[in-house]
Structure 1
Amino acid sequence: MSTPSPGNLTAALEKLPPLESTAFRVSPEGAEFVRDGQMVVTAGPLSATRDPALLGAAPVLYAIAGRTGRDISPFSANRTEQETVFLPGTVFALWSTIDVDGRAVRLVFETEIGQTIDGETVEAFTASVRAAVTSLDPAAVPPDRFIGDIA
C-alpha cells in the first residue's frame, strides 16, 4: 500500500468544508512560536484537537481560534479525538499568553496578513479558552499526538 503524497493529502483536505472552531495543541519545550504579535505561515498540514481534555496535564498549550480547519474525525481511526487539520499556507498570529491555573496557554488566531482582531473577539475567545482549560484533569497524561510548534 502506498503512502499518499502531501499534494494528494492537501487536495483531499481542500474538498472538506472549512470549520470554525477552537482547537488545541501541546506546545513543546523550546517552542519558537512564543512572542506576542508573532505570525507564522504553515508549511504543511497542522493537526489539532477540538477536545482539550485529550491534552491532559501538559504545562503549555496552544489554543487556536480557527476559521478554516478541516474536521477529519469521520475518517479517523479514533473519532473521539475530534481532530482538525489546518491546510498548508494557513496564517496564525500569537495574540498573547495567559495563565490558567499555573498552565501557560498561548492564544492563537487564524488570520490573514494585515487583518486586525477586535477586542470583543479576543475577550470572548479568552473566556471560552479559560473555561475549557480550567476544567482539565491535572492528573491526566498528555497524548503523544497534537504536540508540536506551530510552523
Structure 2
Amino acid sequence: MDTDLDAVIVDLGLDRPPIDPTKLSADELVKEVQRIMKALLGYGARMPKELMLYVKNMVFLDGAIARLAPDLDLLGEIAAISMLFAQRHGEQLGRELGIDHNSIEINLDSVKAGLGVELETNSLTYRELQQRRELIQKRMRERVKR
C-alpha cells in the first residue's frame, strides 16, 4: 500500500509553522496530541522495537544531562555533532545517497520545531528546556484537576 506523503504532511500539520506547546492551554495541547495520534494511527503507524530502545536511551541521556550539565546549549551541541558527523562520514553518505556532500548545509529548523521553540532561537540550554517542560506539565495537571 502506497501512502500519499503530501496528505500525511497536511494531516499532521507539517506544512504549517511548528506549534509552541508552552503557548497552548492544557485543553489545546491534549487536543493537538490526540489529533496527531489519530492521524498517525489512521495511517497505520506502529512503534518499532528500535524506536523504543532509542527512547529508552534518550531518557537515560536526559537524566545525565540534568545532573551533570544543565547549562549545556543543546542546539550548539546538536550543531557540533552534526558537523563532526558530516566531516567524518559526509563523503560516504553522499555517495550512498547520490548527492553532493559538499552542498549539504546544517539546518536546525526541524530540531527547533521538535523542541517547540521559535526558529529565531539560537541557543537552548537544558535548564531552559526543563522550564518549558515544567510549564507544560503544570498546565496538564491543572487540566486534570478540572
TM range (shorter): under 0.3
When Rg is computed on C-alpha atoms for both structures, the one with the higher figure is 2
Length-normalised TM-score, structure 2? 0.27
Which has a greater percent of strand?
Answer: 1
Length-normalised TM-score, structure 1? 0.27
Higher relative contact order (CA 8 A, sep 6+): 2
